[in-house]
Amino acid sequence: MAISSTFLFSLSGLQTAVDRQAVTAHNVANVQTAGFKAHRATQADLRTGGTRINAIDTLAAQGPILRTGGVMDLAVAGDGFFQVRTAAGAVQLTRDGSFRLDGQGRLADAQGNLLEPPMTVPAGAQALQVMSDGRVGAVMPDGSVEAIGQIQLARAAVGAPAVGAPGQAGFGALIPGALEGSNVDLVNEMVNQIVDHRAFEANLKPIQTADEMLGTVLDLRQ
């Protein structure tokens, strides 16, 4: 095998190992992030030799349901995502149900993205009530409950997401006062880091050997 081929094959292996380590590091950094779904890099062999990252998939497994008691903490058990609208107007799907009120009394996530459909808590409300079917009400000073909206869940699909109320067929259950934890398996990620580090070292060695050989050839020509 030509020295140049050794360089190219091993360089592709080095880059693949670095890319896999980046995915693992991202997972580990989000082990405490509510609703986070771990990613997994898959690699493929190149026809010309060497490897590359073929895809980065999202692992959809349910994370643990963590009881928090927070009035605006919501978890989904089963299928379905919350919808939030960004400042740019785009709708995003998320499993992170740690909502709060923004400066205008609207339900929003930690980044300020508004819950979709939008809900605004009326001034003077004493508390919020969130039912397992997604109905949201504001408890007023006189004890009455004013309906302010209906939480809807979305399922990713080709084209526009399918939308429905929690508990409907095909949609998961809404659990108020709880959050879905990250589904990152920390032990598995530690193993992946070790494997990827070993792969990096294994691909680095042929490059070092080829470099030494090239240096020897050049010395002989002088």
Q: What is the mean pLDDT of residues 44-72?
A: 91
pLDDT at 201 > cutoff 90? no
Annotated domain spans of the chain: 3-60+183-221, 65-180
Digit-coded pLDDT (tens) for 83-127:
999 999 999 999 999 999 999 999 999 999 999 999 999 999 999
Q: What SS3 string covers the chain?
A: CCHHHHHHHHHHHHHHHHHHHHHHHHHHHCCCCCCCCCEEEEEEECCCCCEEEEEEEECCCCCCEEECCCCCEEEEECCCEEEEECCCCCEEEECCCECEECCCCEEECCCCCEEECCCECCCCCCEEEECCCCEEEEECCCCCEEEEEECCEEECCCCCCEEECCCCCCCCEEEECEEECCCCCHHHHHHHHHHHHHHHHHHHHHHHHHHHHHHHHHHHHC
Digit-coded pLDDT (tens) for 140-156:
999 999 999 999 999 97
pLDDT at 29 > cutoff 90? yes
- pTM comes to 0.82
